[in-house]
Chains A and B, each alone.
Chain A
Amino acid sequence: MKGGVLVEFKDVTKRFGDLRVMDNFNAQFFEGETHVVCGRSGAGKSTMLRCINWLEPINSGSILFEGISVNAKTAREVRKRVGMVFQHFNLFPHLTILRNAILGPVQALKESPREVIPRAKKLFDRVGLTDKIDAYPAQLSGGQKQRAAIVRALAMNPDLITFDEPTSALDPEMISEVLDVMKKLSQEGRSMIVVSHEMGFAKEAADRISFMDEGKLVETKSSNDFFENPEHDGTRQFLRQILQV
């Protein structure tokens, strides 16, 4: 199924009261690709991610994940296959990060801790947290927390990982340690959808980049094309503002 469509949005509308956050939204995300979605705050990017695993129910249209229509009934099935990394980490503060990582596999996937713990330890090793597995989230720096949160998502062996502004809550000096982990994952050919303003990461790691504005994807291009030939006025303006550092 390499290269096939992993997630498809068809005419999706999502409203918060009178506000249309997603307006007849159409998009496709592909297996094995890293797809970065950028746009101004309030454009609906985070909401879009949260609709994929039904953290936000949609008002109309449909979302297909691996061919399954996402709805209240299929939500748990989809969630078992979609890992999610949050802006504010959302680690469980009463559990060590190892316990954080095995909670999903043990509870939701019904795997035995004996199988999951070695797998989780390997993942912690890969993100450089081997000596921290028995630490509680409060004992870690922001960058370490976010790497632990990535491990928690990976421990589920997900078919897709979504990242919701994973570096926005980090101190500047910790951003690169998280982005480095994400680049590695991208190189391995994992399917990733990343909502982020990290244009350096997008340039280096993304297969595709989309610009989202007022609840629609207005432009989707390959990484090079996106920066060199942006077509949409909104995209150009956004890039001018964000790259002019």
Chain B
Amino acid sequence: MLHLILFSVFAVIAVAGALNLLVQRHPISSALSLIVVMGSLAVEYLLLGAEFVAAIQVIIYAGAIMVLFVFVIMLLNAGVEERTKGSKVALILGFPAMLVGGLLVAWVLLRAPNVGSVNVGAMYGPPKAIGWLLFHDFLLPFEVTSVLVLIAIMGAVVLASPVRSRFSRPQPEPERQALKAAAGTEPAHEETVTARRSS
């Protein structure tokens, strides 16, 4: 019983933290409420008997990743977010709609005689069981994740590297004309980013 109460309390804290993350206008406040979400999720994992995942959640997510988030926000010197008309509409329409949708799903699930939850047992908890799952049963997904990480790094390289022209060599005639014509309609190199941000 105490288990269930603790679980419900931290579930509510997690959802409240997530909502606070959305409505806060300063990025640092959002990042701090994300830490609340991560922390309460760690407690949930602990209550479900997954002590290893809970520890990892605190060390990696609430620790390392959130520190990185806060650092980046401070380095970027991000100011208070400006709300547009569209986001006000989202605030007025989106949250009530979400609430109604969530309540509807909860109502249907609570009323149904056969919701169909299964008991998984405590087998996912200790590090040994997780290690066995990760490096034996889930070996292929584990290895394939490396490709996922690799393309994420490539994406960062592509999208964050400075835009530069490498056309120092002579061009064939039609292409040069086309490029010249194109230059008129396209914003030049570095301006693009700043122009987008201000618009």
A and B: real partners?
no
